[in-house]
Structure 1
Amino acid sequence: MTISVAWERIETWLRNNAPASHASLPGPAPVADIRTAHTQIGRSLPTELADSLQCHNGSGNFVLPVYHRFSDLHLIAREYQSYLRAEEAMRRRALERHRSAPSQTALLPQGEYYYWNPAWIPFAYDESGNSLFISQADDDTFGRIGTHDKEDGPSFPDNPVFTSLPHLLDEVAQALSNGVFQIWGEWEPVVDDGLLEWQEPELESDGVWDLPPLGPDPQS
């Protein structure tokens, strides 16, 4: 499924079931602004991310499972630059320690990073300072989605959801229709006052997952 088709399915579900989330979706990013972001971060955005930004420049109140929101172009550039500064600061401190105790402090091998690889492009964030990124590294992570924890740094989860951005959006669209998303456990889409939320399914006393129906009751 293409980025645009996945977004169309998501938009349709939000329009019919979570109108407040749908109304909050930003418009597309102008192509000129995407080119400016290329310049600001010093490299081209991944094609699939540029395609998504040309559908919506961010996500407003639309939340990805479980708590992430899409970043707009301004935030992508700002976070990328911030992460690079953190990486450079760590390298300087490591070099200083190595110079003072070369026999006790080893430096990272060439091509490895403490905190942030310049070939990673952040595209989504949560409210705790963590992010999702797309790898453009010239290795087996190319195109994959990684998670970046502000304390523990980067990782590449094994969940197939993280195969690529088109795959992630496709899985979100499927989850909205099917009522369950498999990521760090099971999550279901729930609408509260017109806004989409993701919650763990409630477990009934007999041990069966209680999944309430989504959207308007067809019998009403």
Structure 2
Amino acid sequence: MVRAMTDDRTRAEQTLVAWARIETWLKEHAPRTFQRLPAPATEGELRILERDLDLTVPADVRAFYLVRNGTGPVSDFDRPASHDAPEPTGYLLPDGEGIGPLENLRAWFEGPAAAARPDDESGQRYLPITTIDPDGFYGGFVDCTPGQGYGLLGDYAEAERPNPGKATFAAYLTEVANALCEGRGFGDGSAPRVIDGRLDWR
């Protein structure tokens, strides 16, 4: 139990350091993306999400949401109401992904991500946190199932079995920060670039 608490604290601190580096870079190089970062979520909002979805949000993911409620405003993760809507900047992560606001996680959990959870295994709790499209049909999840895989990231797609990963959210954000600050590609992807004040990895 003590080790788990220490790991949680370490992951939370790692997340805060990595995200601070990302925000510093955005503020200097991609101000339009930085300006559209949302306000923090609250501890109360996180607890309501946990209660409604019957899961416990890992410490590193919780730490992020207490700084920013996603990587862009809610409107970035909904279908635009008109062609005059501001161009979304919330998909600022590599591969065009964005971290959704808490409001969207519930819909993704009950919709596309629910279709990706295997029917033959009970008790699994995959919380979708990233997506590449407003419908949330494709993206990344954090495993909130108690046990060995708790806190690890994976990929999901509608009506497909989820693909578990090996990295934590804290480790992922650290690698994003490293790639961003070093001006190199993330994994095998494109290097970050700035277009009209917006960050674009694609």
Contiguous gaps of at least 5 residues in structure 1: 92-107, 200-220
Q: Is the 8 A contact 1:123 1:132 kept in 2?
A: yes
Identify the residue that residue 34 of structure 1 maps to in structure 2.
46
Structure 1 residue 188: deviation in Å?
A: 0.4
- Whole-angstrom distance in 2 between the partners of 1:126 and 1:84: 13
CA displacement, residues 14-34 of structure 1 (integer Å, 9 cap, x when unaligned): 000000000010010012111
Question: Of the candidates 168, 174, 186, which is equivalent to residue 170 of structure 1?
Answer: 174
**Aligned equivalents of 1:58 and 1:9: distance in 2?**
16
Describe the shift of the 1:194–1:87 C-alpha distance in structure 2 as closer, same or farther (beyond 3 A): closer
> 1: distance between equivalents of 2:186 and 2:116?
32
Other structure's SS at 1:66 match: helix
- What is the CA–CA distance in structure 1 between the aligned matches of 2:164 and 2:149, rounded to whole Å? 8
**Pairing partner for 1:16 from 12, 28, 49:** 28
Confirm or deny: 8 A CA contact 2:125 2:145 kept in the other structure. Answer: yes
Shift of residue 139, structure 1, vs aligned partner: 4.6
- 2:195 counterpart of 1:192: yes
Secondary structure class of the residue paired with 1:152: coil
- C-alpha distance in structure 2 between counterparts of 1:84 and 1:130, whole Å: 8
Q: Distance in 2 between matches of 1:42 and 1:83?
A: 17
Change (3 A) 1:191 1:46: same
Give the aligned partner of residue 115 of structure 2: 86
Give the C-alpha shift of residue 57 in structure 1.
0.1
CA RMSD of aligned residues (A): 2.3
Cα drift, residue 74 of structure 1: 1.0
Amino acid aligned to 1:172: V
Q: Deviations over 1:149-197 (max 9, x none)?
A: 125331135xxxx5110011111111111111333x2320000011100
Identity within the alignment, %: 25
For 1:118, the equivalent position in structure 2 comes to: 124
Partner of 2:99: 70
Equivalent position SS for 1:141: coil
TM-score, normalised to structure 2's length? 0.76
Larger gyration radius, structure 1 or structure 2: 1
* Structure 1 residues 43 and 137: alpha-carbon distance in aligned structure 2, compared to 1, 3 A threshold: closer
Rounded to whole Å, the distance in 2 between the matches of 1:150 and 1:67 is 18
Residue in 2 that maps onto 1:146: 154
Contact conserved, 1:21 with 1:195, CA < 8 A, in 2? yes
Task: Give the superposition deviation at 1:87.
Answer: 6.7
Greater Cα offset, 140-149 or 3-12: 140-149
User: What is the deviation of 1:83?
Assistant: 4.8
**TM-score normalised to structure 1 length:** 0.70
Q: Alignment length, in residue pairs?
A: 171
